[in-house]
């Protein structure tokens, strides 16, 4: 399967990220490229700092986000050769 970055596609950039099994399957699946991963990560950290400075209890949001980022990291590791 061909892995494409949805963010790159939306911006009109080269969107191919990699391939995953089954390699003979011509369908597309979505992932995230390294550049957009870094951009989303930076935005996430900035939002945590703003929430923390406002005194909001963000433990649930941080737990959910860490789970989400862990899953993205696992996907990225599987996509790398």
| The predicted structure's pLDDT at residue 25 | 92
- Sign, CA torsion 47/56/61/66: positive
pLDDT in tens, the chain (81 residues): 999 999 999 999 988 988 988 899 989 998 899 999 999 888 888 877 766 666 666 666 677 777 777 777 776 666 665
pLDDT of residue 65: 73
Q: Following DSSP, what letter does each residue of 34-69 receive, concatenated?
A: HHHHHHHHHHHHHHHHHHHHTT---HHHHHHHHHHH
pLDDT reported for residue 52:
62
pTM to 2 decimals? Answer: 0.55
Question: Tokens 């590791």 label which residue?
Answer: 77
């Amino acid at each position: 399967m061909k892995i494409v970055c949805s963010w790159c596609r939306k911006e009109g950039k080269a969107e191919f990220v990699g391939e995953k099994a089954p390699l003979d399957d011509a369908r597309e699946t979505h992932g995230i490229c390294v550049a957009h991963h870094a951009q989303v990560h930076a935005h996430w950290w900035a939002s945590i700092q703003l929430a923390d400075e406002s005194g909001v209890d963000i433990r649930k949001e941080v737990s959910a986000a860490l789970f989400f980022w862990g899953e993205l990291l696992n996907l990225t590791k599987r996509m790398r050769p």
